[in-house]
Amino acid sequence: MTGKAKGSDAVAAQPPTTQRVVKVELGERSYDIIIGQHLEMGGLIKGLRPSVVMVVSDSNVDALYGDRLEFELKTAGVASARFVFPAGEKSKTLSTVERICCECAERGFDRSSVVIALGGGVVGDVAGFAAAVYARGIRHVQIPTTLLAMVDSSVGGKTAVNLPQGKNLVGAFHQPSVVAADIAMLRTLPDREYMAGLAEVVKYGVIWSADFFREIEREAGRIAGRDEEILRDVIAGCCRIKADVVAIDEKEGGVRAILNYGHTVGHAIEAASAYECLHGEAVAAGMLYAALLSERVKGFVMQDVLRIARLLRQFGIEPKNDAVWRGMAWSDIRRAMDVDKKKKGGIPRWILVERMGSVVFGCEVEERVLAETWDVFRRGGLDG
Ligand code: NAD
Ligand code: GLY
């Protein structure tokens, strides 16, 4: 499928409170994304009336926030258990999901039980998938703790684990009951992870709203400095855009594909680097490559390609991992792309930018042009 997507430039105005609430409108599967500081999680989860909850987390996040959440749940009168796995993409496997499900079964979890994903995108994907398949699907709550998870992976119901053959090859659409993003948790997030999350923030401006992109440019200094006031609005803005896209196309039959802008090459770089590149870093490089490709085949103006490059550089994402992907030939990228599920019938489909805030998806591009653009890109064609 091919198509066009032009977002509305009006990212809905919010009342001046200390919290932002964005609704994902999906009929009976609608839910709120709550964004604030020091959110009271116990009461929020008690409101779901779970028989018992399983808090799934990774080793880093559990050490930082596991006890606090357990205490809040206990104080609210919610019975809970904890499942912790080693931090990192390597844990995003079927075997981790099996262990979570076994733990749930041993504790007698039933259809009224709830899984809580406390962590970044890895935890969210693994715990969300376990909730999707345990007892043919139980409810889950996303408590994202990385910037990437707050603006992207915790919202929209995509859950998945990796196979040796490639990323996210086994998964399900399973919407959470609520997403609670506590910005204060970002204070402990390492700089590199924070910066990688900013790549997804930039993505929303490019694919949906030129106004939002300008806002990010204007506030780049405060955003890079983790100013929580501006972050609250920026995260809400990203979630608003993602919620709008998901409400139109929950299961990626069409327009939702635009959320994968920069991911075709991004996923390939991630895999070809054996995950040395973080997801967000690889996506940043993928977005720049796709912007340059858009300039060649869609007439996207070079001035705007350079604005994207400049912003990513200002956030310190580019050229962080240059050495990794600059060493890759187009054939390396192409090989890694061949196991990516986003191509149809062996032909990769591209999301290309026509102008800032407006993209087209499902585009085919000649192999020769792809390879030439890669060579220009990796030789530093965007350093201007
Ligand atoms: P991650 O979950 O591995 O977290 C990054 C690192 O930060 C980990 O070491 C983690 O332990 C640590 N961490 C997390 N929160 C912390 C905090 N508050 N303080 C200190 N340390 C903290 O990585 P990620 O970037 O959040 O997510 C990447 C994953 O998300 C990938 O697997 C990607 O495929 C997936 N993803 C999914 C979707 C989706 O729609 N489901 C979208 C985008 C990405
Ligand atoms: N991160 C892409 C999506 O949720 O569709």
Q: Mean pLDDT lowest for which of 143-152, 228-237, 261-270?
A: 261-270
In the numeric block, which tokens belong to residue 170? 């086994």
**Nearest protein CA to atom 29 of ligand 1, as residue:** 121
Ligand 2 mean position to 76 CA, how many Å? 33
What per-residue confidence (pLDDT) applies to 124?
98
Q: What tokens were used for 320?
A: 């962080």
Mean pLDDT rounded to a whole number for the chain: 92
Contact indicator for 184, 37 with CB cutoff of 8 Å: yes
**Which of 90-99, 306-315, 372-381 bottoms out in mean pLDDT, i.e. has the lowest?**
372-381
Distance CA 330, CA 336 (A): 10
Domain coordinates in residue numbering, the chain? 3-8+194-378, 20-188
The winner for highest mean pLDDT among 127-141, 261-275, 311-325 is 127-141
Give pTM, 2 decimals: 0.94
Does the pLDDT at position 13 exceed 80? Answer: no
Residues 136/226, Cβ–Cβ less than 8 Å: no
CATH number, span 20-188: 3.40.50.1970
pLDDT tens digit string along 203-253?
A: 999 999 999 999 999 999 999 999 999 999 999 999 999 999 999 999 999
* Distance in Å, CA 37 to ligand 1 centroid: 19
Structure tokens at 32: 């709120």
Instruction: For residues 266-293, give the mean pLDDT.
Output: 90
Measured from the CB, is residue 123 less than 6 Å from ligand 1?
A: yes
Q: How far is the CA of 46 from the centre of ligand 1 (A)?
A: 26
Can you read off the two tokens belonging to residue 376?
Answer: 């220009």
Residue 323 has pLDDT above 80, yes or no: no
From the CA atom positions of the chain, what is the Rg in Å? 20
On whether the 3-8+194-378 domain is CATH 1.20.1090.10, my answer is yes
Exactly one of 28, 49, 106, 136 is catalytic; which is it? Answer: 136
Which has more pLDDT, 354 or 346? 354
Out of 94-103, 211-220, 327-336, least confident range: 327-336
